């Protein structure tokens, strides 16, 4: 109805997953890169969790598109399968004849087919959507399937996509054998208020919109508060807000349009911070894989589909332009370029071994003086932090894929105004072929200490950034 009014080619905020609208911010691009790396080079069961409407199915669809050609997938969209039904579904996906055959025969056929695929250089991955609804017996059967191997190589890999209830299910004593085989855990983060404007305009431009940004700061604040950062709710509110603006014959989305959408959707502004335990659990899958995925993707000969996953670096970890002193609702981050993905700033285990590669640091900076720029001071502080080798971890506020010294200088001046400048460290980083920068907060003797310090960050940093634990 409003497409022509806004110059759109298609509805920008459909809740049905369409991969052209995949948004890589708020750690989604990083998780996607880590999944591709893990399935290509590692083994073990992988778990991806997220709240209802956070984008799990979209991430699953993107993975299906981006995987290299030698990886074949079996997608189980219906989790409410019995043990036998699941085996029949997998056998059918492998092209086996299942008519009238007993479960034991089906299981033997699956193993033979998987061995045949392995000899052909193929990898088979089972993707289970809504895994939190899968019966315990069926989950246990998945574990038994995962145990199949030829020589030292596993014949099957498994990814479980589910709501946080999946974590509680796996914590049951009779699930400990399955849980012990999960080698990577990722949690899809809600969109922060700072990222929301980039997401809204990314969807608009992916749908063909070519005008200026249309969502006012007040409208963005209301959408953020009413949606709790969940994409499905955001899409519903944004779609109805566009309709309300169309009815008024205006092209600007104001708070009153969002309020009308909230009334129609029966949503109220109840903002809550994401579950810290889940965010920390997500960090259990990012730091090691950050180095591994970047190194692997940069050094491995790129197949066409692998290359497609890397060609568009994005705004990862909610990279804001300048965290401002006014309330976060008025912050105006640089809009994320359309259809971009970040080059794997993905987290890994809490006791991560050293990364396989490290960014090349610039020549030693001269000792900082009172007349030095704040940028030079904190860059020297970051280098000194590495050389002292005393700190194990820090809190990454954000990273920039380009070194924009003036912008970082402005951020540091604001940090100084808050009395937090001594806590800020700058570390050079390499993102693909670009020289970038990590902006860290604090130096901690352990990963757990850094995690426990996250709730103590200044409130403005908590609202402006999607933070993660960074290990040295």
Enter the tokens of residue 92.
């059918």
- pLDDT, tens digit, for every residue of 25-68? 888 888 888 888 888 776 779 999 999 889 998 999 999 888 88
**pLDDT tier for residue 431 given thresholds of 50, 70 and 90:** low
Per the document, the length of the chain is 472
pTM of the model: 0.58
What SS3 state is found at 304? Answer: helix
Output the pLDDT for position 44.
79
pLDDT at 158 (0 to 100): 93
CA–CA distance, 233 with 245 (Å, rounded to integer):
18
Which strand (E) or helix (H) includes residue 126? Answer: strand 123-128
Residue 272 has pLDDT above 50, yes or no: no
pLDDT tens digit string along 257-269?
999 999 998 877 6
Q: Which residue has the higher pLDDT, 234 or 406?
A: 234
Percent residues over pLDDT 70 in the chain? 76
The confidence band for 288, taking pLDDT boundaries of 50, 70 and 90, is: very low
Which residue shows structure tokens 């708020």?
A: 26
Contact 47, 185 (CB under 8 A): yes
Confidence of residue 23 (pLDDT cuts 50, 70, 90): very high
pLDDT score recorded for residue 314: 36
**pLDDT value of position 98:** 79
Q: What pLDDT is recorded for position 270? A: 53
What CATH number should be reported for the domain whose range is 45-180? 3.40.50.300
CB atoms under 10 Å from CB of 245, counted, come to 25
Q: Give exposure, 372-393, as e/b (b: 16+ Cβ within 10 Å).
A: eebbbbbbbbbbebeeeeebbb
d(CA 141, CA 264): 44
Average pLDDT over the chain reads 78
Average the pLDDT over each of 249-258, 306-315, 457-466 and give the range with the smallest value: 306-315
Whether 147 and 112 have beta carbons less than 8 Å apart is answered as no
**Has residue 292 got a pLDDT over 50?**
no
């Amino acid at each position: 109805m409003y497409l022509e009014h806004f110059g759109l080619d298609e509805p920008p905020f459909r809740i049905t997953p369409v991969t052209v609208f995949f948004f890589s911010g708020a750690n989604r691009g990083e998780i996607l890169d880590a999944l591709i790396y893990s399935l290509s080079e590692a083994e073990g069961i992988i778990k991806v969790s997220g709240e209802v409407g956070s984008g799990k199915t979209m991430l699953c669809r993107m993975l299906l598109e981006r995987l290299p050609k030698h990886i074949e997938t079996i997608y189980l969209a219906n989790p409410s399968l019995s043990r036998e039904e699941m085996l029949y579904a997998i056998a059918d996906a492998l092209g086996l004849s299942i008519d009238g055959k007993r479960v034991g025969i089906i299981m033997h056929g699956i193993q033979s087919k998987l061995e045949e695929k392995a000899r052909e250089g193929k990898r088979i991955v089972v993707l289970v959507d809504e895994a939190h609804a899968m019966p315990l017996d069926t989950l246990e059967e998945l574990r038994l399937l995962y145990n199949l191997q030829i020589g030292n190589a596993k014949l099957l890999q498994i990814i479980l996509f589910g709501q946080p209830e999946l974590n509680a299910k796996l914590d049951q004593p009779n699930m400990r054998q399955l849980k012990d085989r999960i080698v990577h855990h990722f949690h899809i983060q809600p969109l922060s208020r700072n990222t929301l404007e980039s997401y809204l305009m990314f969807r608009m431009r992916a749908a063909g919109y070519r005008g200026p940004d249309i969502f006012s700061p007040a409208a963005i604040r209301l959408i953020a508060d009413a949606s709790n950062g969940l994409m499905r709710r955001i899409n519903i509110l944004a779609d109805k807000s566009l309709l309300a603006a169309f009815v008024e014959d205006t092209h600007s989305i104001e708070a009153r349009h969002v309020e009308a959408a909230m009334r129609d959707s029966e949503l109220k502004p109840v903002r809550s911070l994401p579950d810290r335990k889940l965010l920390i659990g997500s960090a259990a899958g990012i730091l090691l894989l950050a180095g591994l995925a970047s190194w692997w993707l940069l050094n491995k000969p790129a197949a066409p589909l692998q290359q497609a996953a890397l060609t568009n670096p994005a705004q990862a970890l909610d990279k804001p332009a300048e965290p401002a002193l006014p309330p976060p609702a008025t912050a105006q981050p640089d809009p994320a370029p359309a259809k971009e993905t970040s080059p794997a700033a993905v987290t890994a285990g809490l006791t991560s071994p050293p990364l396989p590669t490290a960014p090349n640091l610039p020549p030693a900076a001269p000792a900082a003086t009172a007349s030095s720029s704040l940028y030079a001071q904190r860059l020297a502080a970051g280098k000194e932090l590495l050389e002292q080798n005393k700190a194990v971890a820090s809190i990454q506020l954000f990273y920039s894929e380009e070194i924009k010294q003036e912008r970082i200088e402005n951020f540091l001046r604001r940090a100084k105004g808050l009395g937090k400048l001594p806590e800020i460290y700058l570390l050079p980083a390499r993102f693909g072929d670009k020289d970038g920068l990590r902006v860290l907060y604090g130096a901690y003797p352990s990963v757990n200490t850094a995690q426990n310090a996250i709730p103590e960050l200044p409130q403005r940093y908590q609202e402006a950034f999607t933070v993660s634990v960074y290990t040295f």
